[in-house]
Amino acid sequence: MNAYFKFLIESLVKRLSRTQEEKVYLKQQKAERKQPVLVSLFGMLPFSLGMAFKKNKK
């Protein structure tokens, strides 16, 4: 069997065999790591505006 397919099957089985407590815990961790939408948008906004003005100057 191909090593990649073996990895996919093992990871799928591991994911499906999680208990409800593990699922809730991982979901909470993911929510804590995720940045708010406004932070991610305004983080890129000044950078993109700077690039736009640099292109117009040339």
Q: Collapse the DSSP code of 3 into the 3-class scheme (helix H, G, I; strand E, B; otherwise coil) and give the result.
A: helix
Residue 32 banded pLDDT, cuts 50, 70, 90: confident
CA 36 to chain centre: 12
Check whether 21 has a pLDDT greater than 60.
yes
Q: How many Cβ atoms from other residues are within 10 Å of residue 21's Cβ?
A: 8
Q: What is the pTM of this model?
A: 0.44
- pLDDT at residue number 2: 92
SS (H, E, C) 16-45: HCCCHHHHHHHHHHHHHHCCCHHHHHHHHH
